[in-house]
Homo-oligomer: A and B are copies of this chain.
Amino acid sequence: MAKPNATPMRVIEETPSYWRAVFDYPPFNVVDGDVFQALQDLLVRLETSETLRVVVFESALPDFYLSHFDLTGKLGNVMTGIGPSGLPVLMDTFVRLTKVPVVSLAKIRGCVRGVSSEFVLACDMRFASRENLKLGHPELGVGLHPGGGGTERLPHLVGRGRALEIVLSANDFDGDTAERYGYVNRSLPDAELDGFVDALARRIGSFDRPALGAAKHLVNEVSLLSADWLLAAFTSFGKALGWPAAQNRVKAVLERGLQSDTTFEKNWPEVLGDLGVPKQ
């Protein structure tokens, strides 16, 4: 049944109606150009399949869902290329995921930060492990800000106050808090998470495609922001990547162990308030 890919993400066709997309890109599932390419390839399949109703996004690594944007620069064409929607590849990936008439469920365990938070925010629903979740936006801590939809999607989901807390604190949010804030749909006991999401996916997989497509479209019409707002954040983020102060902070976290040391990779937002680099 499994159909492994030679990419950072394997697609398992559970049934013609229900697929699982499994991120498997050790050691940390860092989000680089190859991850976006795999998502772009999958999007074409989602957009053209005549049988698919639902896709579950999950990770093969117990402690990392998708960790964060690659800060060593292996971003491929993510910032500069243009996708089929006419938007930059990073934005194009998330925007098309929100609009495709296939239901996307993020089943989340482990670390999910920055652009990875923005990926799950672009999924239709988010279900997290209550005991095993570190979800957040650490960008401010490295002198940057979210650029892939976080500043746009969070306020509509959790309200302005909690959106500002998530973005400006650069802290991790655990399962209980993420559920209470509405950042995820639900946090479930880890032992129940797989069963809950699988049952939901099979149920949705049994429904009619025209009805699913129409319902998602109607909800989208009143809940998705115009791409103009997303583009403003993306453009601002692109500039911020060139700020010397941000580059100093990025250098500091890489030297401390980001993308190389497992313990640091799990916990790095903890030190962001005390990086020891000059602030701007």
Contacts and interface: CB of A to CB of B under 8 A. Distances in A.
Interface of A: 17, 103, 123-126, 139-141, 143-146, 151-165, 167-171, 179-182, 184-185, 199-200, 202-204, 206-212, 214-216, 218-225, 229, 232-233, 236, 240, 243, 245-246, 249, 272-275, 279-280
A155 B273 contact: no
Contacts of A159: 156-158, 182, 223
Contacts of A229: 221-222
Nearest to A278: B208
Contacts of A126: 161
13 contacts: A145-B218, A146-B215, A146-B218, A153-B160, A160-B220, A160-B224, A162-B185, A180-B180, A203-B273, A207-B279, A209-B279, A209-B280, A210-B240
Nearest to A142: B211
A211 B124 contact: no
Contacts of A219: 151, 154-155, 160, 163-164, 167
A141 B206 CA distance: 8
